[in-house]
Amino acid sequence: MQSLINVSNRLPVIVADTITPSAGGLVSALEGFHADYDFQWIGWAGATEDDPEMRKRISRELQERFGYTPLFLSQEDVSDFYTGFSNSSLWPLLHYLPSYARFNRRWFDAYINVNGAFAQTVAGRVRTGNVIWIHDYHLMLLPGLLREQRPDLKIGFFFHTPFPSYEIFRCHPNRRELLEGLLGADLIGFHTSDYVRHFRSTVQRVLGLTSEINTIIAESHTVSIGVYPISIPSEKFEAEMESEAYRSHLNDYRRIYEGKKIVLNVERLDYTKGVPRRLDAIERFLIDSGRRDVVFIFISVPSRESVAAYRDLRRDIESKVSKINGELSTIENAPIHFIHQAVEFSQLCALYSLADAAMVTPLIDGMNLVAKEYVICRQNNDGVLILSEFAGAAQELPQAIIVNPYNIEQMAHAIRQALEMPAQEREKRMASMRRRVQRYNAQRWARSFIEDLTSIPEAQRRPAIALSLSPEMLAPLLSQERWALFLDYDGTLAELRRDPDEAYPDPALADLFEALQKRPNLEVYVISGRTRQDMGRWLGDFDFHLVAEHGFYFKHRNAREWVQFESHVDLSWKERVADILVHYADQTPGSFVEEKTASVAWHYRSADPEFGAWKAHQLVIELQEMLSNLPVEINHGSKIVEINSILINKGVLMQHMKTLNRYDRVLCAGDDVTDESMFRAAGERDISIKVGGGETAASYRVASPGALRRLLSNSLEI
């Protein structure tokens, strides 16, 4: 049996004098799933017990009765990590409500500490290669922390909330750390493709990483991202509806509500669930329709009452309920039956199967299981679901009456439509929704996530590009014979910066340069597309040959002056091309044109990534048509489109120097399309290294400039 460690903020138990299992979205979804896997669950026990003896006793009982491993949080952790960072900062932002979000540096410190404590506990319980499934926004740093300690684990992360658009997520002061933490996972799952799209665009914009439709290329590995709409354990509901308790509740409720229409509302009392606006719509319906035979039952489970916004919400709802009941009750009926507590499972099922309609109208909701639970309990295919278009569930249940929860008139009309819907239409809609929920249930959801996680190939869990060249291989080679090193600068020796002026050599790079200078059998050429001025300013003090503008200018290490490497170059096309690039720069905020002696380049690193890439694609097509008969080449590199003469490139210069100076061997390294000419020019005994991903003619790869620096430094030290 496969072993799986499930990690969530809360264990599904209530620890008081005795320990009882608790209800909730995730618990419901995973229940049917325990039997199939060797399943452990790690999480906070919900208690803030300080007494070590009591902690031991609780741990023992949780382990023995349920196979759970508890974590204990202090009162302060609960206030800063849980109430503060998780529920007052992340939750509102993930639900598109920045006006509810509060930020506090101390909360983030607590979040780091508690995620760290989770990492310790998990690391203490796992065996090599175990599969870890982490749930939800409380633990966004955990994948990264775990990966650092245990790269052998397969780590999945599932977001139960929505993931908002970049414009919202960017508000968070700790957006970078949160995303970097998450990307420690091998697979990140979301309820809908919209959330995936938002996540990708956020990661691209905040971290500048590359992303395909279902992957993100992180430095240490490739992260898969996918859509896994959570569902419910449908057989559990079907079984409950066979029970005696259910039948007895159903009979009671039938008697109590005889002659009345019932509209059911079930939720945690949360500002995302849209209760005040729903009450406005109910009031409008009651006034407009004049009906006094309808009861709106609200099962409103108390939630997060330590957060002020939830207390305010409760007050607001209670006052609306009493106003409506005060104004619209009759002797026979009070329209709103508001129950501010949880009911038993058998009672819930009885209510689901009795209610003529259910209203699920959150302002935003990751999925919403109540919608699916109502559907599964309609065994006769009767009943009507009114569902917010902002619930993830709306994508799977389009046969519901779909409403905009901000549109009071539309919701009021939907209630009327639901209560008056012809039986045939009701059945048709419900049957179709039931088929979906029966087929794609909680077990299917969990299984498809875990199957995808476990089948991620090992190669994907290493750096996107394998570090195939080690210092142990390179060091003995570099210690003998005469070598020339042709090293590109930006993106190869130094990380790409948004502002090219910031890419000057940092101390780590300067150390590498010092070490290279000390080796008499190595001659270094720093070979770049940059201008002579940039190169002279940053690299002039080192004992290196410098090559600027992709080979157009050359400065021997002992010379003071630059020379033009190729004197007869036709540059008549330059002005026309520059005009076009300026036009693109005007149309693409954040991009700019760089004009050099023998080339001209359009940089779009600081432009919006998707818009920039689209404009670059357009530009290349336009230039290809315009320049087809001219001796130029168009290089579309990493966030740059550069046009230069075909007579000049890095490969031509490298070949020339190699022959002229009779080096025994050459090592060349680069990250961009313009470096491919060197890789192609390299001979059999030479070493060519591509930095980063993408197609290449190079024979080796390293993941990043940092990896290349480490490779070279370590090879020189051995």
Site for ligand GDG in 10-39 (CB under 6 A): 23-26, 28
* Nearer to ligand GDG among residue 160 and residue 701 (C-beta): 160
Residues 258 and 120: their CA atoms lie apart, in Å, by: 57
Among 297, 369, 384, 640, binds ligand GDG (CB under 6 A): 369
CB of 667 to ligand GDG, least distance (A): 52
Helix (H, G, I), strand (E, B) or coil at 442: helix
* Nearer to ligand GDG among residue 283 and residue 373 (C-beta): 373
Looking up tokens 């039997």, which residue turns up?
35
Quick one: which segment of 124-132, 306-314, 341-349, 464-472 binds ligand GDG (CB under 6 A)?
341-349
Among 185, 348, 484, 600, binds ligand GDG (CB under 6 A): 348
Among 299, 354, 412, 667, binds ligand GDG (CB under 6 A): 299
Among 14, 97, 343, 475, binds ligand GDG (CB under 6 A): 343
Task: Decide the pairing of beta strands 3-10 and 38-44.
Answer: parallel
CB of 360 to ligand GDG, least distance (A): 8
Residues 246 and 118: their CA atoms lie apart, in Å, by: 39
Looking up tokens 């091309």, which residue turns up?
577
Residue 386 interacting with ligand GDG (CB under 6 A) = no
Quick one: which segment of 122-130, 337-345, 539-547, 556-564 binds ligand GDG (CB under 6 A)?
337-345
* Nearer to ligand GDG among residue 34 and residue 125 (C-beta): 34
Residues 146 and 227: their CA atoms lie apart, in Å, by: 23
CB of 363 to ligand GDG, least distance (A): 12
CB neighbours (10 Å) of residue 535?
22
Residue 268 interacting with ligand GDG (CB under 6 A) = yes
* Nearer to ligand GDG among residue 11 and residue 299 (C-beta): 299
* Nearer to ligand GDG among residue 360 and residue 487 (C-beta): 360
DSSP structure string for 640-679: EEEEEETT--HHHHHHHHHHHHT-SEEEEEESSGGGHHHH
CB of 424 to ligand GDG, least distance (A): 29
Q: Is the dihedral of CA 255, 260, 261, 266 positive or negative?
A: negative
- Token pair listed for 593: 């044109």
Our CA dihedral for 194, 607, 702, 531, rounded to 10 degrees, sits at 170
State residue 403 phi and psi, 5-degree precision. -125, 160
Residue 286 interacting with ligand GDG (CB under 6 A) = no
The tally of CA atoms less than 13 A away on the side-chain side of residue 567 is: 1
* Nearer to ligand GDG among residue 405 and residue 637 (C-beta): 405
Burial of 579 (0-12, 13-18, 19+ CB in 10 A): exposed
CB of 283 to ligand GDG, least distance (A): 24
* Nearer to ligand GDG among residue 139 and residue 716 (C-beta): 139
CB of 419 to ligand GDG, least distance (A): 23
* Nearer to ligand GDG among residue 72 and residue 133 (C-beta): 133
Site for ligand GDG in 301-320 (CB under 6 A): 301
CB of 407 to ligand GDG, least distance (A): 21
Q: Are 555 and 562 in contact (CB under 8 A)?
A: yes
* Active-site choice (488, 534, 608, 686): 488
The tally of CA atoms less than 13 A away on the side-chain side of residue 23 is: 16
CB neighbours (10 Å) of residue 18?
7
Q: Tell me, by CB under 6 A, how many residues bind ligand GDG.
A: 23
Residue 496 interacting with ligand GDG (CB under 6 A) = no
Residue in 676, 718, 703, 336 with CA at minimum distance from that of residue 527:
676
Helix (H, G, I), strand (E, B) or coil at 67: coil
CB of 366 to ligand GDG, least distance (A): 3
Task: Decide the pairing of beta strands 687-691 and 38-44.
Answer: unpaired
CB of 151 to ligand GDG, least distance (A): 28
Site for ligand GDG in 423-462 (CB under 6 A): none
Q: Are 411 and 277 in contact (CB under 8 A)?
A: yes
CB neighbours (10 Å) of residue 237?
25
Residue 345 interacting with ligand GDG (CB under 6 A) = yes
Residue 146 identity (one-letter amino acid): L
Q: Are 386 and 358 in contact (CB under 8 A)?
A: yes
CB within 8 A of 621, min separation 6: which ones? Answer: none
Residue 230 interacting with ligand GDG (CB under 6 A) = yes
Task: Decide the pairing of beta strands 357-360 and 261-268.
Answer: parallel
Quick one: which segment of 207-215, 249-257, 340-348, 707-715 binds ligand GDG (CB under 6 A)?
340-348
Quick one: which segment of 305-313, 369-377, 450-458, 657-665 binds ligand GDG (CB under 6 A)?
369-377
Quick one: which segment of 238-246, 289-297, 362-370, 505-513 binds ligand GDG (CB under 6 A)?
362-370
Q: Are 598 and 565 in contact (CB under 8 A)?
A: no
Site string for ligand GDG, 136-165 (x = CB under 6 A): ------------------------xx----
Q: For residue 503, what are the CA distances in angstroms to 496, 544, 608?
A: 7, 18, 21
Q: Which residue(s) pair with 527 in the sheet?
A: 547
* Nearer to ligand GDG among residue 303 and residue 531 (C-beta): 303
CB of 669 to ligand GDG, least distance (A): 47
Does the active-site annotation cover 488? yes
* Nearer to ligand GDG among residue 23 and residue 123 (C-beta): 23
Site for ligand GDG in 641-680 (CB under 6 A): none
Q: Are 412 and 284 in contact (CB under 8 A)?
A: yes
Residue 365 interacting with ligand GDG (CB under 6 A) = yes
Residue in 302, 380, 383 with CA at minimum distance from that of residue 371:
383
Among 40, 201, 368, 399, binds ligand GDG (CB under 6 A): 368
CB of 364 to ligand GDG, least distance (A): 9
* Nearer to ligand GDG among residue 365 and residue 671 (C-beta): 365
Phi-psi region of 387 (alpha: psi -120 to 50; beta: other; left: phi over 0): beta
Active site residues: 488
Point out which residues bind ligand GDG (CB under 6 A). Answer: 23-26, 28, 160-161, 230, 266, 268, 299, 301, 342-343, 345, 348, 365-370, 373
